[in-house]
């Protein structure tokens, strides 16, 4: 049973450019412009009109955009919950500008060991992460550690939690790896590893959406009975100011926004594409976290109930739970 009929999240790609080259991502390989500031405010107004609650300014590396602080400030002033994930290389330079305007600030980490983390990222950024944690805390910010879990680093969770997160009062977000296209095909977690993650998710100040685990156990999205609601829950805006459907990773259709996002979203051509969500050949077996998270929030089914406790817990920790309703 559908309980929310409007989109709740916007994945706003400010650029596909990145100053790292992560092995489990191909976004950084794309040529890309930066979003134009004169387009952002109108899009934010239309997103508000559509009922969107959360704006995730993403990339690439979102801190590469010289106006990112202004975009976040605009979004906060309009009442959105804001999120941003960074590899932290530019955070020390941008921290003062960003202060107070990011509800959910995520610092990415792939290994507690400097050499492994830097190798995974293709650039030396481990020391920047440690510096950024200290700086953020000194400014009264509450960053989270976003730990993407692979078969080869799952045994590091304890050390990340006990040596980095607990002493600094940080939430540890466990982000099980997902594959798409030819990316991370050989990184799938075993049943035992999924159960290990599930147990870690019960610990204090560790966030793990249990529905992510259940979906993997079930073999991912099934096109004959899809759980994915990516297109109807999530507005995806590209750096070229285009609406991307059904999601960024599949991206089979693009529609120029031209300062008419609300009208474009409501158009028959877009609504026809939304009807195909989760049913396209590329949707079979999908477990992409950033689209499954909102999918689990709008329909009452077993994934809804699996996701609900962790979602409420995390938003309670971040002080944003009232804004979700």
Mean pLDDT of the region 145-161: 96
Q: How many CB atoms are closer than 10 A to CB 49?
A: 13
* Mean pLDDT lowest among 12-26, 75-89, 150-164, 267-281: 12-26
Quick check: 72 and 61 in contact, CB under 8 A?
no
Assign 132 a pLDDT band (cuts: 50, 70, 90): very high
CA dist 193 and 191 (Å) reads: 5
Peptide bond into 154 cis (omega under 30): no
- Least Cα distance to 129 among 115, 108, 105 occurs for 108
Q: Per DSSP, which regions of the chain are E strands?
A: 9-13, 54-58, 81-86, 104-109, 144-149, 171-176, 206-207, 234-237, 242-245, 253-256
- Least Cα distance to 216 among 238, 192, 236 occurs for 192
In the predicted model, is pLDDT for residue 174 greater than 90? yes
- Kindly state whether residue 324 falls inside one of the protein's structural domains: no
- Least Cα distance to 51 among 174, 177, 302, 232 occurs for 232
In the predicted model, is pLDDT for residue 117 greater than 70? yes
Strand partners, 86: 107
Assign 321 a pLDDT band (cuts: 50, 70, 90): confident
- Name the CA dihedral angle for 207, 283, 21, 24, rounded to a multiple of 10 degrees: 60
Return mean pLDDT, the chain. 92
CA dist 76 and 303 (Å) reads: 30
Place of tokens 């990316």: 183
- Kindly state whether residue 229 falls inside one of the protein's structural domains: yes
CA count, 13 A, side-chain hemisphere, 175: 23
CA dist 254 and 238 (Å) reads: 9
Q: How many CB atoms are closer than 10 A to CB 211?
A: 25
CATH of the domain at 82: 3.20.20.70
- Kindly state whether residue 313 falls inside one of the protein's structural domains: yes
pTM, two decimals, is 0.94
- Kindly state whether residue 4 falls inside one of the protein's structural domains: no
- What pLDDT is recorded for position 29? 55
Backbone angles phi, psi at 311, to 5 degrees: -65, -45
- Kindly state whether residue 2 falls inside one of the protein's structural domains: no
CA 122 to centroid of chain Cα atoms: 21
Percent residues over pLDDT 90 in the chain: 84
CA dist 53 and 227 (Å) reads: 21
Instruction: Please give the residue that has the higher pLDDT: either 24 or 81.
Output: 81
- What pLDDT is recorded for position 193? 96
What confidence tens digit (pLDDT) does each residue in 250-290 have?
877 999 999 999 999 999 999 999 999 999 999 999 999 99
Eight-class DSSP state of 323: G
In the predicted model, is pLDDT for residue 180 greater than 70? no
Q: Which domain holds residue 202?
A: 9-319
Eight-class DSSP state of 26: -
- Kindly state whether residue 160 falls inside one of the protein's structural domains: yes
* Mean pLDDT lowest among 165-169, 240-244, 316-320: 316-320
In the predicted model, is pLDDT for residue 175 greater than 80? yes
Assign 42 a pLDDT band (cuts: 50, 70, 90): very high
Place of tokens 């992460």: 129
Counted domains in the chain: 1
Backbone angles phi, psi at 270, to 5 degrees: -75, -45
């Amino acid at each position: 049973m559908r309980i929310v009929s409007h989109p709740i999240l916007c994945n706003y790609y400010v650029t596909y450019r990145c100053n790292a080259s992560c092995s489990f991502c191909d976004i950084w390989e794309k040529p890309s412009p930066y979003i134009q500031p004169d387009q952002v405010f109108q899009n934010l107004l239309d997103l508000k009109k559509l009922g969107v609650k959360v704006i995730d300014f993403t990339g690439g590396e979102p801190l590469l955009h010289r106006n990112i602080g202004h975009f976040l400030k605009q979004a906060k002033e309009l009442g959105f919950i804001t999120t941003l994930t960074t590899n932290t290389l530019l955070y020390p330079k941008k921290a003062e500008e960003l202060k107070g305007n990011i509800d959910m600030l995520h610092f990415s980490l792939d290994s507690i060991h400097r050499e492994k983390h830097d190798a995974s990222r293709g650039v030396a950024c481990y020391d920047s992460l440690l510096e950024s944690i200290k700086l953020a805390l000194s400014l009264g910010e509450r960053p989270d550690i976003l730990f993407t879990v692979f078969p080869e680093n799952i045994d590091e969770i304890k050390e990340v939690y006990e040596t980095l997160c607990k002493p600094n009062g940080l939430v540890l977000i466990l982000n099980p790896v997902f594959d798409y296209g030819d990316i991370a095909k050989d990184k799938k977690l075993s049943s035992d590893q999924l159960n290990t993650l599930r147990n870690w998710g019960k610990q204090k100040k560790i966030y793990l959406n249990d529905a992510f685990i259940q979906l993997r156990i079930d073999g991912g999205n099934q096109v004959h009975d899809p759980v994915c609601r990516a297109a109807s829950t999530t507005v995806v805006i590209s750096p070229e100011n285009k609406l991307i459907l059904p999601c960024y990773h599949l991206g089979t259709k693009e529609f120029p926004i031209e300062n008419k996002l609300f009208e474009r979203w409501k158009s028959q051509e877009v609504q026809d594409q939304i009807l195909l969500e989760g049913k396209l050949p590329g949707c079979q077996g999908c477990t992409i976290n950033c689209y499954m998270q909102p999918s689990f929030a709008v329909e009452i089914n077993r994934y809804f109930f699996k996701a609900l406790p962790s979602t409420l817990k995390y938003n309670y920790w971040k002080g944003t739970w009232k804004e979700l309703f």
